[in-house]
Amino acid sequence: MTLIGAIICAVTLHAGPAPAQSGWELVMVEQRGCVYCIRWHADVGPEYPITPEGRFAPLRVVDLRALPDDLTLTRRPIFTPTFILTRDGQEIGRMEGYPGEDFFWGLLGRLLAQGDADWATQPVGG
């Protein structure tokens, strides 16, 4: 096992059981061939579910051209990736584009803090 694999395994075991479903989701809108979507999946995707952010707002990936009917959005996404924070299917806020891993975590933290005052007291991952 590599060092990185061991760290991910240890973090996963330390994280404990998943919290009860809170109604929060991070919806990633993507489309086939999106270079920035592919980059996000390589940079962030593997670690997202085991971070505090990922446990608070689990990821749901949807296609730009086949948006699910159970989402109520303020406007239709145009750019991919677009990350939409939802609670019980209602859009709370969004980030358009992927500026790289370092910026992603900070922007996501701000989005989560705007959506839920309790999030502001959570540790930052990434």
**How do the pLDDT tens digits run along the chain, 126 residues long?**
444 443 443 333 333 333 335 789 999 999 999 999 999 999 999 999 999 999 999 999 999 999 999 999 999 999 999 999 999 999 999 999 999 999 999 999 999 988 775 665 555 554
What Cα–Cα distance (Å) separates residue 90 from each residue in 18, 69, 87?
22, 11, 5
In this structure, what are the phi and psi dihedrals at residue 59, rounded to the nearest 5 degrees?
-80, 140
Q: How far apart are CA 107 and CA 11, in angstroms?
A: 23
Identify the helix (H) or strand (E) that includes residue 24: strand 24-30
Q: How far apart are CA 107 and CA 115, in angstroms?
A: 12
- CATH code of the domain occupying 19-121: 3.40.30.10
Domain borders along the chain are 19-121
